[in-house]
């Protein structure tokens, strides 16, 4: 039973790893995934498709099925090494793999084929269904139901409530013009973080091993400015222990320290309020109260101004819905989605460019041309002159996606990969594996940003720059109706701060390879002691 519970949580992490996958998965439900229109003639009919029992995969034992594989000592699957588990399944069994016999959990179908992934997403329903992340679902729909009611947001939610809420905010959040309004404030936050970096460096010009925590503060400050229309003040050097800023920082730390315990280990919190569960709930309460307080302040401020230009995200949502609680819920979801995703991607991009000095030099030359003065603001026009920087981020997300997989729970029978897949099966798309195999990305272990720069002179000389990329082999922000709402803001934050760091510094790393772990997103666990050498102009 322990093993099945552990795998159930682990599978949810692959399928919908916590709040982020909740924002990123487009859980394709109630759909008969027979075939894509382009392949209809060659695809098997339901009579021709092979039975689900013939899908290759690990064989279970009598009574306990495959649950034993996750037991301590005797088992060989570690739920915090899901990346390695997925690689093993792919190498041992091929492109479509069944993992059944998990006590208390439906069968899992791993699909290591980008075309099959595309077939599912192309036939996505109006209201895609995915299994909810249980802890956040319980928080919104049980513990704090009096607050969320019929507006629980998009994270940890599906069905009609998800559709109704997203319909009220997506047209605002996904507009490119709205994101562009935040270039200047995000530039200011990046400048503040650059000042903090100067304070963090030691006598050897190295950042502290816990630099990821500092990146969390930068991401928190950035998404707070976007979603709450105000600065949180979490980047200051003299934050007092009793201040609101410290309370916010402690809540953020507590949330990330306990979320993996709540999501990846046995869900004892369903039976009793464990210490980790209490800390997790307290952190969520702090974020929720923060959002409501800041939204109310903003409403009062806007009311006092009379007419406004309505350009901010908050103003647009309030104008569209007239409901501060919807704005607060949206802000909470953006905070839960936007902190570790951007900060981990930032850390991984620093890592990849530090390990590939030739690419870093190429990036520096691009930045020097776009930013002749290292201290000048990064504008929309300047961002348009940085194609190689953007390609570096894409290549990093290919090699080290923050979300290693997503999926959906079928609510009707389907045909996938020539097999009859029954209703209730959890279909998992392991994007980490897909984006790191030669079939879709030749020379996958090499950091080659140029592969994303088709028809660009900057890509000439790259051995794979003319290789066509399957659009569903790398989906860091998902696809379709459950595309990440914060995608545009995340890219802005990353591009602006990266441009400043690599324009000013040469970045090195002298402590071997950086290892990654599931926590429950895919994060570096090695100390991030990057050495920053200021460039002389």
Query: What mean pLDDT comes out for the span 258-280?
Result: 86
Cα 181 to Cα 317: distance, rounded to the nearest angstrom: 15
pLDDT of residue 129: 59
Grade residue 33 by pLDDT with cuts at 50, 70 and 90.
very low
- Choice between 479 and 28, residue whose per-residue pLDDT is larger: 479
Grade residue 21 by pLDDT with cuts at 50, 70 and 90.
very low
Crossing angle (nearest 10°) for helices 324-338 and 159-173: 90
pLDDT of residue 524: 95
pLDDT of residue 51: 94
Structure-block tokens of residue 372: 């002749």
pLDDT of residue 128: 59
Q: What does the chain come to in residues?
A: 537
- Choice between 113 and 18, residue whose per-residue pLDDT is larger: 113
pLDDT digit string (tens) for 221-253?
999 999 998 999 999 888 998 999 999 999 999
The count of C-alpha atoms lying within 13 angstroms of the C-alpha of 337, restricted to the half-sphere facing its C-beta, is 30
- Identify whether the C-beta of residue 75 lies closer than 8 Å to the C-beta of residue 68: yes
Which of 41-55, 139-153, 202-216, 331-345 has the weakest average pLDDT? 41-55
- Choice between 381 and 177, residue whose per-residue pLDDT is larger: 381
Average pLDDT score over the chain: 85
- Choice between 319 and 225, residue whose per-residue pLDDT is larger: 225
- Identify whether the C-beta of residue 347 lies closer than 8 Å to the C-beta of residue 524: yes
pLDDT of residue 134: 82
Grade residue 447 by pLDDT with cuts at 50, 70 and 90.
very high
pLDDT of residue 30: 37
pLDDT surpassing 60 at residue 1: no
Distance of CA 471 to the CA centre of its chain: 18
Cβ count near 247 (within 10 Å): 15
pLDDT of residue 161: 78
Q: Tell me the domain boundaries of the chain.
A: 2-131
Enumerate helices (H) and strands (E) in the chain, giving the number of each: 20, 10
- Choice between 261 and 505, residue whose per-residue pLDDT is larger: 505
pLDDT of residue 343: 96
- Choice between 377 and 38, residue whose per-residue pLDDT is larger: 377
pLDDT of residue 11: 40
pLDDT of residue 400: 96
Query: What mean pLDDT comes out for the span 70-82?
Result: 80
pLDDT digit string (tens) for 116-174?
998 877 766 665 556 567 888 889 989 999 999 888 888 777 777 777 888 888 878 88
Grade residue 44 by pLDDT with cuts at 50, 70 and 90.
low
pLDDT of residue 24: 38
Residue with tokens 């939204």: 295
Which of 55-69, 306-320, 383-397, 443-457 has the weakest average pLDDT? 306-320
Cα 183 to Cα 160: distance, rounded to the nearest angstrom: 34
Grade residue 71 by pLDDT with cuts at 50, 70 and 90.
confident
Distance of CA 213 to the CA centre of its chain: 17
Cα 66 to Cα 68: distance, rounded to the nearest angstrom: 5
pLDDT of residue 126: 60
């Amino acid at each position: 039973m322990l093993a099945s519970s552990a795998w159930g949580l682990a599978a949810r992490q692959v399928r919908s790893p916590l709040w982020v996958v909740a924002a990123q998965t487009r859980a394709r439900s109630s759909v008969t995934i027979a075939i894509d229109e382009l392949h209809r003639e060659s695809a098997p009919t339901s009579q021709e498709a092979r039975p689900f029992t013939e899908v290759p995969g690990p064989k279970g034992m009598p009574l306990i099925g495959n649950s034993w594989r996750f037991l301590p000592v005797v088992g060989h699957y570690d739920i915090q090494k899901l990346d390695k588990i997925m690689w093993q399944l792919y190498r041992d069994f091929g492109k479509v793999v069944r993992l059944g016999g998990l006590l208390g959990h439906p069968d899992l179908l791993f699909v290591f084929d980008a075309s099959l992934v595309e077939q599912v997403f192309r036939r996505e329903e109006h209201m895609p269904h995915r299994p909810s992340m249980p802890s956040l679902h319980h928080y919104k729909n049980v513990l704090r139901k009096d607050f969320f009611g019929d507006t629980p947001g998009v994270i940890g939610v599906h069905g009609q409530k998800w559709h109704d809420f997203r319909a009220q905010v997506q047209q605002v959040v996904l507009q490119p013009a709205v994101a562009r309004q935040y270039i200047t404030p995000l530039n200011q936050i990046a400048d503040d973080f650059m000042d903090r970096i100067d304070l963090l460096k030691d006598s050897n010009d190295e950042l502290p091993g816990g630099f990821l925590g500092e990146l969390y503060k930068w991401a928190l400050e950035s998404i707070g400015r976007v979603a709450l229309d105000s600065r949180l003040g979490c980047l200051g050097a003299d934050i007092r222990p009793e201040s609101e800023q410290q309370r916010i920082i402690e809540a953020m730390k507590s949330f990330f320290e306990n979320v993996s315990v709540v999501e990846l280990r046995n869900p004892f919190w369903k039976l009793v309020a464990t210490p980790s569960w209490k800390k997790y709930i307290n952190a969520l309460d702090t974020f929720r109260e923060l959002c409501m307080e800041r939204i109310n302040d903003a409403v009062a401020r806007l009311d006092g101004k009379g007419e406004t230009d309505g350009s901010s995200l908050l103003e647009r949502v309030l104008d569209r819905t007239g409901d501060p609680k919807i704005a607060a819920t949206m802000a909470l979801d953006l905070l839960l989605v936007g902190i570790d995703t951007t900060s981990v991607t930032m850390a991984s991009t620093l890592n990849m460019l530090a390990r590939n000095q030739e690419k870093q030099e190429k990036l520096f030359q691009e930045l020097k041309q776009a930013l002749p003065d290292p201290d000048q603001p990064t504008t929309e026009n300047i961002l348009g002159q940085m194609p190689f920087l953007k390609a570096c981020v894409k290549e990093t997300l290919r090699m080290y996606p923050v979300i290693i997989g997503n999926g959906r729970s079928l609510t009707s029978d389907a045909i996938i990969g020539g097999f009859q897949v029954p209703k209730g099966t959890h279909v998992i798309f392991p994007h980490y594996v897909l984006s790191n195999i030669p079939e879709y990305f030749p020379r996958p272990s090499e950091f080659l940003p140029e592969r994303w720069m088709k028809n660009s002179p900057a890509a000439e000389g790259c051995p794979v720059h003319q290789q066509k990329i399957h659009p569903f082999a790398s989906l860091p922000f998902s696809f379709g109706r459950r595309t990440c709402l914060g995608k545009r803001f995340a890219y802005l934050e990353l591009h602006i701060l990266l441009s400043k760091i690599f324009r000013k510094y040469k970045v090195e790393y002298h402590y071997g390879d950086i290892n990654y772990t599931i926590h429950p997103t895919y994060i570096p666990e090695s100390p991030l002691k990057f050495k920053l050498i200021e460039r002389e102009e």
